[in-house]
Structure 1
C-alpha cells in the first residue's frame, strides 16, 4: 500500500485503494459508485479492515473520469486526457452512461496492447450496473458502465 492510499475497498475481486490526490468529493463519489459493483464471495464492504489476499490484485485509483450524461466520443476523449496523469502501476476509474463507451474504451485498451508504445493499458474492471429495476432508486441514470484501467510498463 502506498503512503497516499487509504483502507482497501473490495469490489469485483480486487482490492481498490483511492489515492490521496483525489479530492474529498471525488473520493465520496467513487465510493458511492463502487458500492454499485458486486462484492465477490460476500467480501467486506467499504471501510472494513481485513487481511488482503496475496493473490488478489491491488488497484490504486489515481484519477477519476465522470462521463455520465456525456455522448460518444466524450467519455473516451476524457479518458485519454486523464491517462496522461496516470503513471505505470496506477489506475483510472471511468464511469459513463453512453452504451457506445463500452465498445470505445474496450477497443482503446485493446489497441494499446497491440501497438509498440511504452504504456500498456489493462482493462481490469468492465462492469455494467443496471438500476432501472430499483423503483426506490433516485438515480439520475439507470445504466452505468464502470471501467478501471491500469497503466503498466510494456517492457
Structure 2
C-alpha cells in the first residue's frame, strides 16, 4: 500500500446493529466510538431493518493505547466468538494496526479457510476530546483507527 493511498475503504453505507449479547457499557462505548465516524458511512439501528443488509456487531476489541502487534492479536482472539454473518468492531491508536488488519483480512480471503474476513470499514478519526485540546504533547494520541470486520462463509 502506498503512503498516499486513501485510508477509507467503505463499500457502502451499512446499517449497524449491536448484538443483544453486548453489555450496556459495551453498547454505550460502541455508540460513542461510532459517533466519531461520518454519519453518511453508518446508520446505527436499534432494531433490525430486513430491507437492507445490516452489520451485526457481536463483539468489540478496544486496542487504544496498545502497540503493534497487540491490536491484531486481540482481534484474532475476538474473532473466535464471531460466526459467519456477524461483525467485530475494532478500534486502535497504533497507525501500524491499519496495515496489520488489512493484511490479515486479505490473507483470510486468499487461504482455503472455511470462512473469510471482509474489512467493511477501515477509517481514521480524530477524537473530539483531543482535537479540542490545544495542549497536545508529542506522546498524546488523537487519531483512532476504526475497523469493522465481517466474517463471511466462503462456501
TM (norm. structure 1) is: 0.80
Of structures 1 and 2, the one with the larger relative CO (CA 8 A, separation 6+) is: 2
CA distance in 2, matches of 1:65, 1:52: 25
Report the CA distance shift for 1:27/1:48 in structure 2 as closer, same or farther (over 3 A): closer
Cα drift, residue 47 of structure 1: 6.2
- Displacement of 1:28 in angstroms is 0.2
- Give the match for residue 15 of structure 2: 15
1:9-58: CA deviation from partner (whole Å, max 9, x where unpaired) = xxx711000001111111000000000000118x86x5688x9594x541
CA contact (8 A) 2:15 2:45 kept: no
- Cα 1:117–1:102 change in 2 (3 A) is same
Instruction: Indicate the SS of the match to 1:71.
Output: coil
CA distance in 2, matches of 1:63, 1:48: 16
Query: RMSD in angstroms over aligned alpha carbons?
Result: 2.8
TM-score (ref. length: structure 2): 0.80
Q: Which structure 2 segments of 5+ residues have no match?
A: 1-11, 135-139
Instruction: Work out whether residues 17 and 46 of structure 2, in 8 Å CA contact, stay in contact via their aligned partners in 1.
Output: no
Matching residue of 2:87: 91
Determine the structure 2 residue equivalent to 1:134.
Answer: 131
**Aligned to 1:134, what secondary structure does the other structure show?**
helix
**Number of residue pairs aligned between Structure 1 and Structure 2:** 139
Task: Output the CA distance in 2 between the equivalents of 1:152 and 1:47.
Answer: 21
> In structure 2, what is the Cα distance between the partners aligned to 1:63 and 1:80?
12
2:103 is the counterpart of 1:107: yes
User: What residue number does 2:72 align with?
Assistant: 76
1:66 counterpart residue number: 62
Q: CA deviation at 1:107?
A: 0.3
Distance 1:131 1:93 in 2: 17
C-alpha separation in 2, matches of 1:143 and 1:53: 34
